[in-house]
Each structure stands twice: as C-alpha cells, then as structure tokens.
Amino acid sequence: MVSRWSFTKISTFFFSLIAAGIMVAMLVLLIVQSIPVWKHEGWGFLTGTKWFMRTHEFGAAPMILGTVLVSFTALLLAGPVGIGAAIFTSEFLPSRLRLTVKIIIELLAGVPAVVYGLLGILFLRNWIYDLLTPFDPLSGDTLLTGAVLLAVMILPTVMTLADDALRSVPSAQRTAARGLGLNPTEVVLHVSLPQSARGLLAALLLGLGRALGEAIAVFLVVGRQDNQWPEKLLSINPLIESGQTITTKLASSETNIAYGDPIHWGAICGLALILMLMVAGITLASASLQFFSRNRHAS
C-alpha cells in the first residue's frame, strides 16, 4: 500500500511538473515573440485605440475592451440562470430526474463551438437586430450578439460546476436544518448557499474563463470591426455595435499575414500573451476557491 501511494504521488507530481513546464514555456515564448511590439509601442500597445497593420500602429485597447464586455455580459446572463438551475436540480429534483437533466446539460457542453456560431448566424443575429431597432444598428453583428451566444455556451459549464458545489454540502447539515423546522427554501438560503459560496464563485470564474477563450462562435457574429473605441465607456453603445475581441483577431487571417513582419507578429503574440494571462489568472483564482471549498467541507 505504501509503495502504491508513493507511486501515485510521484506520478501526480511528475505530470503536474510537465504541465507547469509547458505553461511556463508557452509564456516565455509569447513574451520573447512579442518583444518587438513592446519596443515599438511601449505601453501604447495596451492603451492605444488604433490598429493599422500597414502603418505599424498597434493598439490593443479596443480588443481588450471587446473581450471584457462580451465575456462579462455573457457571465451576467448565464450566471443567475446557471446557479438557479443548479439549485433547482440539486435541491428539489428527485435523484433519477436530476441525473437525466445533468446528462442533457453536459451533452450541451459537448456541442462544437462552430455549431453554436452557425445557429447564431441563422437565428440570434436577426433577433438581436430586431431587438435593437430603436437604436438604429447597422447590423445584427454586435458584441451583444456574441455575449448572448457565449452565455448559452457557458451555461452548461456554470450549471454543472454549481451543481457539484451544492452537492458537496454535507447532507447532515441539510437534515439538521430540516430538523430545526426550516422548509426546503430556507435550507437553500441559510445552509446550501452559504456553505457552497466559494464553489459557486469558482463555477462563475470557470465560466468566465471559458468565455474569454472562446473564438470561433464569437468570430462569426461580432462583426470583427477594428478601431471601435467608444466616446463614452459607461454607455450601452459599445455593446450594440460591431467590434473585435482578442480571440476573434487571433482567429482571423491577419495572423498568417503577420508572420513575415516582426513588429506585426509581435503584436499578434502580444495579444495572445494578454489573453493567456487573463485566462490563467481567472483559472488560478477558481482553482484556489475550489481547493479551499473542498478543505472546508472535509474538515
């Protein structure tokens, strides 16, 4: 038994080290490859609002803004629905029916992103255009369209992880609460939700990480318009106009065009570096919350 556990621990450490090494290597590679654009633009690469590859003007701010708007709007739409659905399935549905619902939700998570994108073109784009008619939009290809599509895509992730977080609350605590006279709704409000708060937040963060990294589906519906920097940040205008995100820029043909130009290629790698740091930060935060949540329930 001792040798078995020793082998398991050694294997876990070894493969974790390989994964960490790959991540560090990718990070170093992107830093090195993006050096030309940092030398050329400096901090202007992060704060600049103009992107013209022929004149070597590379400002990533509109794409960073587009990424943040699309991802956080998607999370704002999917978060309440996903957590509400998880509460219903974990706390109120019979176990057999709960298993069926969870299987269906997990199957939705396996639908290819390009299929979601094509459905967005067929149905969602026209619906958003009709919805935004009072604002006189140019088309239905907007950041809001991408956000709604992403909300549908990350909903299974949020719901599944939120359900796991709620089910990790010891049943003895629910039983004790019912013994004190609390009805099922009060048990959810005063026992399940407080005890699973960290796990629920981790589910939201992982959903956000999924939204930040999605490319193909968003690529098909956001319009991919460069240099879209709003006059007023605190307004609805950026969402109801065509735009660009980091992932849609990286997925475009410009990535192939840039390879022969060190500064242009550096700008593309710089975008990838920014995206990687954003996703890595959110993933680490989510993993930390899940770790502390498991330790809390285990103690």
Domains present along the chain, CATH in parentheses: 33-298 (1.10.3720.10)
**What backbone phi and psi angles, to 5 degrees, belong to 226?**
-75, 165
What is residue 73's predicted lDDT score, i.e. its pLDDT? 95
What is residue 5's predicted lDDT score, i.e. its pLDDT? 61
What is residue 298's predicted lDDT score, i.e. its pLDDT? 54
Lowest mean pLDDT among 141-150, 189-198, 209-218, 234-243: 234-243
Token pair for residue 153? Answer: 């895509």
Lowest mean pLDDT among 56-60, 86-90, 102-106: 102-106
pLDDT band at 69 (very low <50, low <70, confident <90, very high): very high
What is residue 239's predicted lDDT score, i.e. its pLDDT? 87
Q: For residue 182, count CB atoms less than 10 angstroms from its CB and return exposed for 0-12, middle for 13-18, buried for 19 or more.
A: middle
What sign does the CA torsion over 288, 289, 292, 297 have? negative
Closest Cα to residue 217, out of 156, 149, 151? 149
What is residue 21's predicted lDDT score, i.e. its pLDDT? 93
Q: Strands 57-58 and 51-52, how do they pair?
A: antiparallel
Q: Mean pLDDT, to the nearest integer, of 236-257?
A: 89
Percent of the chain past pLDDT 70, that is, above it, reads 96
What is residue 1's predicted lDDT score, i.e. its pLDDT? 46
What is the residue-averaged pLDDT of the chain?
88
Q: What is the DSSP letter of 229?
A: -
Closest Cα to residue 148, out of 125, 169, 171, 132? 125
Closest Cα to residue 88, out of 15, 138, 162, 17? 162
Q: Mean pLDDT, to the nearest integer, of 53-67?
A: 92
Q: How far is CA 51 from the centre of its chain?
A: 25
Are the C-beta atoms of 79 and 147 separated by less than 8 Å? no
pLDDT band at 295 (very low <50, low <70, confident <90, very high): low
- Decide if pLDDT at 269 tops 90: yes
Closest Cα to residue 148, out of 227, 248, 237, 81? 81
What is residue 95's predicted lDDT score, i.e. its pLDDT? 80
d(CA 209, CA 201): 12
- Decide if pLDDT at 2 tops 80: no
- Report how far apart, in Å, the C-alpha atoms of 131 and of each of 64, 135, 142, 153, 234 are: 26, 9, 12, 21, 21
Over residues 93-151, the pLDDT tens digits come to: 888 888 888 888 888 888 899 999 999 999 999 999 988 888 888 888 999 999 999 99
Token pair for residue 67? Answer: 């990424």
**pTM, two decimal places:** 0.88
d(CA 299, CA 292): 11
Q: Which helix (H) or strand (E) covers residue 128, if one does?
A: helix 125-131
Over residues 162-184, the pLDDT tens digits come to: 998 998 888 888 888 888 888 88
Percent of the chain past pLDDT 90, that is, above it, reads 49
